[in-house]
Amino acid sequence: MSKSLSEVDREVYGYIQNEIGRQRDTLGLIASENYTSKAVMEAVGSPLTNKYSEGYPGKRYYAGNEYIDKIEMLAIERAKKLFGTVHANVQCHAGAIANFSVLFSLMEFGEKFMGLELSQGGHLTHGSPVNFSGKLYKPVAYAVDKETEMLDYDEVKKRALEEKPKVIIAGYTAYPRQINFKSFREIADECGAYLLADISHFAGLVAGGALPPVSPYADVITTTTHKTLRGPRGAMALACRDEELGKKVDKAVFPGTQGGPLDHVIAGKAVAFHEALQPEFKEYAEQIIKNAKALADELMALGFRLVSGGTDTHLILINLTDKGITGKEAQIVCEEAGIILNRNTIPYDTKSPFITSGIRIGTPCLTTRGMKESEMKEVAGFIKRVIDNPQDAEVKKKVREEIKELCSNFPVY
Ligand code: DSN
């Protein structure tokens, strides 16, 4: 019972060591990833994984939940404080499940809701035809403006008044700009819709005060906990102002969608929320945006075209159309050089989501490592050298070595 992983299973242990090395020696530029703390991982790796606790604190279906209740209540209170909401459900296993649960609590199957087109930065759960959201409900999409590549709130309003959706979703996976939630609130009020804010990508920026609060405007917030928020892999749903709505969301999460919660992950969330409530997290959130702006400026100075011409957040979308390389090819050659990013469609992309004309990058991981604006200039230079010389093995080898050297000055674990 008490043997360590390295004694019990050399294969899994070995691959975990390899993955730690990969995370240590490469540039993590995937905008939705982060390095969580050792404290969070300790909680997630604890014996709390052994417990069953269907229900909520004080109302469980199994005995033995004295300490589990305390931990979940801590997570709930900290989440409410971080985001200024009256309610928090910290049991959601993942962002997609959180969105399912909330839509399930707000709509009957077949009813209409509105979200941003997936190819323009929306999310599968915001109405994709291959997802539950497109199969069980009737999604209608809004789009970004073709010229500015930003949201045009008058157009969103026009579409909402024509379509009269029951729910409007705002909050995206590949939109580099700050969202005006006040405008979304006004639009939702005018057409009588609920406003669901999916803040998964920028929750840490809101928690750290680098972006304005969302709770004064949304009815419900969903978010993952592992992106800018830097917690364990998981999610939560927060009813902003209406406790009755909070009760509906709770019922939709359990028993509506999930069974037993992942108590070890909830403990990790509680720890991450504690960390996010500290003054250092405010500095971290601000630095993420400073780094993204510095990286964006340098990329543009080096001749890259950025969707919407820049960023207000942690995220940058690069249009590769004039570079003679697809997003898919760029992802592959960058990985060969130790630059880890993902291909991404750009607004009005003519290529498929599997190929794409763009790549998406973000600064949460590098900022956690302690990198600042001067390192962002170096990072932009690495990207340029590889994208300009995609078939040159020597360039990729040299960049990989330089990245390893840079990373060694900013250790992760
Ligand atoms: N997979 C996430 C992202 O990378 O944005 C969204 O769910």
The DSSP line for 322-357 is GGT--HHHHHHHHHHTTEE-EEE--TT-SS-TTT-S
According to CATH, what is the number of the domain 42-276? 3.40.640.10
- Shortest-distance Cα residue to atom 5 of ligand 1: 173
pLDDT tens-digit series, residues 212-237: 999 999 999 999 999 999 999 999 99
Q: Is residue 1 scored above 80 in pLDDT?
A: no
Pocket test for ligand 1, best of 97, 173, 229 (most atoms within 8 A of CB): 173
Separation CA 289–CA 352 (nearest Å): 30
Phi (first) and psi of residue 221, to 5 degrees: -115, 135
Q: Taking the domains of the chain in order of start, what are their residue ranges?
A: 9-31+287-408, 42-276
DSSP code string of 112-131: EEEEE-GGGT--GGGT-TTS
Tens-place pLDDT, residues 301-345 = 999 999 999 999 999 999 999 999 999 999 999 999 999 999 999
Give 57-115 pLDDT, tens digit per residue.
Answer: 999 999 999 999 999 999 999 999 999 999 999 999 999 999 999 999 999 999 999 99
Q: What's the rounded Cα separation, in Å, for the pair 258 and 55?
A: 10
* Residue with CA nearest ligand 1 atom 1: 32
The rounded mean pLDDT for the chain is: 98
Given this chain, do its domains 9-31+287-408 and 42-276 carry the same CATH topology? no
CB 410 within 8 A of CB 404: no
Average pLDDT (349-375) is: 98
Domain 9-31+287-408 has what CATH class? alpha beta
Taking 80 as the threshold, does the pLDDT of residue 239 lie above it? yes
Atom of ligand 1 nearest to the CA of 96: 7
Question: Which tens digit of pLDDT belongs to each residue from 21-70?
Answer: 999 999 999 999 999 999 999 999 999 999 999 999 999 999 999 999 99
- Residue holding tokens 């050659």? 333
Atom of ligand 1 nearest to the CA of 342: 4
Helix (H) or strand (E) holding 194: strand 194-198
Percent residues over pLDDT 90 in the chain: 99
Residues near ligand 1 with C-beta < 6 Å?
A: 32, 95, 123, 173
Supply 377's token pair.
């200039």
* Rounded distance from Cα 59 to ligand 1 centre (Å): 33
Identify the band that residue 284 occupies on the pLDDT scale cut at 50, 70 and 90: very high
Interval between CA 173 and ligand 1 midpoint (Å): 6
CA–centroid distance, residue 330 to ligand 1 (Å): 19
pLDDT at 210 over 90: yes
Whole-angstrom distance, CA of residue 306 vs CA of residue 358: 9
Residues forming the active site: 52, 54, 198, 224, 227, 233
- Counted residue by residue, the chain has a size of 413
Q: What is the pTM of this model?
A: 0.98
Given a contact cutoff of 8 angstroms between Cβ atoms, the answer to whether 142 and 159 are in contact is yes
Place of tokens 């997630």: 44
pLDDT at 376 over 80: yes
**How much is the pLDDT for 2?**
83
Q: Atom 3 of ligand 1 has which residue's CA nearest to it? A: 32
E strand map for 227-352? 235-239, 305-306, 315-319, 339-340, 342-344
- Measured by CA distance, the residue closest to atom 4 of ligand 1 is 32
Q: Give the span between the Cα atoms of 197 and 168, in whole angstroms.
A: 8
